[in-house]
Amino acid sequence: MTAVVAVGTDPPAGRRRWIRALSPHLPGTNVVDLADLDPSAVEILVVGNPPGETLAHLSALRFVQSTWAGVDALLQGAPEAPIARLVAAPLTERMTEFVLTAVLMLHRDLPAYRRLQGREEWSPLPVVAAGERAVGVLGFGELGRPAALRLAEAGFDVVSLANKAAGDGPVPVVAGEQGWRRVLERSRILVNLLSLTPSTRGIIDRRAFDLMPVGAALVNAARGAHVVEADLLEALDSGRLADAVLDVFEREPLCPGHPFWAHPRVTVLPHVAAPSEPEALAGAIAANIRRFLEGEPPRHLVER
């Protein structure tokens, strides 16, 4: 029987693009829009990161391949099928490029110059060498590790936080409560690439900001829910933090009138650090689906 792969990515209007991109990589398979299938017959599903409970009616699910790097929402209430998150070189490269861009922008004071520009003020700021700029990267996994290494290659003084410490690579990796404090206390620029779990939800809060050097900056490219928004606003308004570059938010899209929109110290981005482009990522997704179809364990399954 021909295997059927259902595509249920959001927005539904974009599904045709995924279907077009995936089909040539899955010969002998029907790649179709989820909306065109009887829900009780869907066994293999390609989705982004919708709330898992929206899939609860797919009672025959056997494998879910996400088009997203993080599947925190999908894990909430999805049927008991294996779920693979997306790990693919083009996605990693885009995130690495984004982190480097954001850190260089903060390092060379571009947000501060934009504020000066708003006041028509011609005021050169002191230039600091990259080697004197302490950067912390929270997370040393599939996305955190390459980003931390690229920052180190660019000359920054990088320390990363992970579950396990490691001192022998180009980036020192620290762990635990002591590691957390060490990264925060030293980081002039803090980059968040943690995955969102019950233990990391709300981890970047007032206590975290109080540990950071006065005038430090935050780059959040992981999940909005890592950050306590009210605490971040307070830290920015009090001058404890100088800047925040935010690609992710507790609620997306960011709602009209949210204080981040007009905040002079916040750069708002619409979750674009590492967008999932079907044409670039279909090969990696299809390869994992083929593994499943051939009875091999798919790669990058998340613990459930």
Smaller CB distance to ligand OXD: residue 96 or 276?
276
Query: Considering the rule CB under 6 A, would residue 68 count as an interface residue with ligand OXD?
Result: yes
Nearer to ligand OXD, 225 or 242 (CB): 225
Residue 107 falls in the annotated catalytic set: no
- Provide the sign of the torsion angle of the four alpha carbons 189, 194, 196, 200, taken in this order: negative
Do 246 and 266 meet the contact criterion of CB atoms below 8 Å apart?
A: yes
Which residue number, 29 or 195, has a Cβ lying nearer to ligand OXD? 195
| Whole-Å CA distances, 5 to 66, 73, 118, 259 | 13, 21, 52, 42
Report how many residues bind ligand OXD under the rule CB under 6 A: 5
Rounded Cα–Cα distance for residues 58 and 78 (Å)? 9
**Scanning the structure block, which residue is given the tokens 């981040």?**
260
Beta strands in 115-194 (DSSP E): 134-138, 157-161, 173-174, 189-192
The token pair that represents 212 in the structure block: 């950071």
CA 129-130-133 angle, 5° bins: 100
Q: According to the binding rule CB under 6 A, does residue 50 interact with ligand OXD?
A: no
Q: What's phi and psi for 49, nearest 5 deg?
A: -140, 55
Q: What are the residues facing 32 on neighbouring strands?
A: 6
Is there binding between residue 156 and ligand OXD (CB under 6 A)?
no
Residue 125 · residue 146 · CB < 8 Å: no
Catalytic residue among 15, 85, 94, 223: 223
Nearer to ligand OXD, 71 or 236 (CB): 71
- 276 lies in the site for ligand OXD, by CB under 6 A: yes
Q: How many CB atoms lie within 10 A of CB 303?
A: 6
Q: How far is the CB of 178 from ligand OXD (least distance, A)?
A: 29
Among positions 83, 274, 281, 282, the unique one binding ligand OXD when judged by CB under 6 A:
274
Cβ-contact 224, 252 below 8 angstroms: yes
Q: Is 78 in the site for ligand OXD (CB under 6 A)?
A: no
69 binds ligand OXD per the rule CB under 6 A: yes
Side-chain-side CA neighbours of residue 222 (13 Å): 28
The yes or no reply on residue 195 touching ligand OXD (CB under 6 A) is: no
Active-site residue identified among 181, 271, 290, 291: 271
CB atoms under 10 Å from CB of 293, counted, come to: 16
The percent of the chain in helix, strand and coil, each rounded to the nearest 5, is: 40, 20, 45
Whether residue 206 lies in the annotated active site: no
Least separation, in Å, of the C-beta of 68 and ligand OXD?
4
Nearer to ligand OXD, 98 or 209 (CB): 98
Q: Which is nearer to ligand OXD, 170 or 253 (CB)?
A: 253
Rounded to a whole number of angstroms, the minimum distance from the CB of residue 87 to ligand OXD is 10
- Binding span for ligand OXD by CB under 6 A among 12-20, 34-42, 65-73, 283-291: 65-73
Per CB under 6 A, the list member of 8, 52, 70, 146 interacting with ligand OXD is: 70
- Enumerate binding residues for ligand OXD (CB under 6 A): 68-70, 274, 276
Active site residues: 223, 271
